[in-house]
Amino acid sequence: MFSRRMLKSKIHRATVTEANVEYEGSISIDSNLMTAADIIPFEAVQVWNVTRGTRLETYAIEAPPSSGVICINGAAAHLVAAGEIVIIASFVDVPDKDAPYSPKLIFVDAQNRQCSAPV
């Protein structure tokens, strides 16, 4: 059976609140945003830096709920700085019979609070 790699979810245009090179790795994401985007702890995510035009892959860890935290950790902190805008995306393999697939699209404002449409 064939499958397609599809966008599962994304957090669109989040503002990076911190970059911590001393942490072992990952991206810390406000746990409310993770829940809304159906991203679980240690799930692989891609981070697309809208400000710089760069991309990286890491894994998600939970930051406190309603904190608005989007923190790039470890070596990736050399690639993303606080205040930059990123898109955080996760993917899923979907059997052809289940495609097309509808992803969860989470939009946030400048404080990383969920909103209903792109800001």
Domain ranges of the chain: 3-114
* Residue 26 known to be catalytic: yes
Q: Convert the pLDDT of each residue in 33-60 to its tens digit.
A: 999 999 999 999 999 999 999 999 999 9
What pLDDT sits at residue 44? 98
For the entire predicted model, the pTM comes to 0.93
Candidate list 26, 28, 31, 90, residue with the active-site label:
26
Q: Checking DSSP bridges between strand 104-108 and strand 54-63, what pairing results, if any? A: unpaired
* Residue 59 known to be catalytic: yes
E runs forming strands in 64-97: 70-73, 85-95
- CB distance 93 to 5 below 8 Å: yes
What pLDDT sits at residue 78? 94
CATH number assigned to the domain with residue range 3-114, chosen from the 4 options 3.65.10.10, 3.40.1190.20, 3.20.20.10, 2.40.40.20: 2.40.40.20
